[in-house]
Structure 1
Amino acid sequence: MPSPRGLQSATGADGEILVAIDLGTTFSGVAWTHTARPGTHTVIDQWPDEHDSLDGITSAKVPTEICYDEDGIRWGFQIPASRSRY
C-alpha cells in the first residue's frame, strides 16, 4: 500500500525509514527519519563539489541544475562556474 502524501518508505523489523525529497525549481533538499526515533530527523547537508569532494559544500539545499559536457553529467555544486547549466 502506498504511503500517505506520496512518502516513500522502507519497512524493516525495527520500523520504517521515511525519506522526504524537495525537488525545487531553484534549490532541492533531502531529509530522512526513522520511525523508531520519533521527532528526530536528518537533513542531508553534504554535497559533492566540482572535484567530487564533500569537504567544502555544506548546505541544506543543493542547486537544481544539471550540466552535460565532455566530462559527463554534473549536477548541483559539481558544476564549475564557467560551464553552462540547465
Structure 2
Amino acid sequence: MANNSDDEEHVIIVGIDFGTTFSGASWAYSGEPNDIEVISRWESKLNLNSDKEKAPSAILFPGKRGTISWGYGIPPNAK
C-alpha cells in the first residue's frame, strides 16, 4: 500500500525558550512546519506589555490565598 500524505497524523509542535530574564513560545502545525506562529499575546496588568514576543521569566507566589501570577500578569507593585 502506498504511503499517502493525506493519511498521516498531524500534530502541533510547541517550542519554548526559557530565558533568564525573558521567555517566549511558538508553535507550528506539522502539516505546515515552516509556518511558525510566535505567541505574542500575554495576560498583562499593563496594556503596553500585552503584545510582546517574550514575557518576563518570573512567577509570583502570593501565599495560600492569593492567585499565582507569571510574566506580565504580575502587578507592578508586587514584592
- TM normalised by structure 1 equals 0.69
How far apart are residue 71 of structure 1 and its match?
2.7
User: Secondary structure of the equivalent of 2:33?
Assistant: coil
Given candidates 45, 48, 54, the residue that maps to 1:50 is 45
| Structure with the larger RCO, 1 or 2 (CA within 8 Å, 6+ apart) | 2
**Corresponding position of 1:74:** 69
Number of residue pairs matched?
68
Question: What residue ranges of structure 1 are gaps of 5+ in the alignment?
Answer: 1-12
Higher strand share: 1
**Corresponding position of 1:60:** 53
Higher helix share: 2
Kindly report the root-mean-square deviation, in angstroms, between the aligned alpha carbons of the 2 structures. Answer: 1.8
Question: 1:1-86 maps to which residues of 2 (within 5 A)?
Answer: 14-50=9-45, 56=47, 57-69=50-62, 70-84=65-79
Q: Percent identity?
A: 34
Deviates more, 1:17-26 or 1:65-74: 65-74
After superposition, the C-alpha distances for 1:50-77 in whole angstroms (9 at most, x for unaligned) are 38xxxx2101000000112253211100
* Structure 1 stretches of 4+ moved >6 Å: none
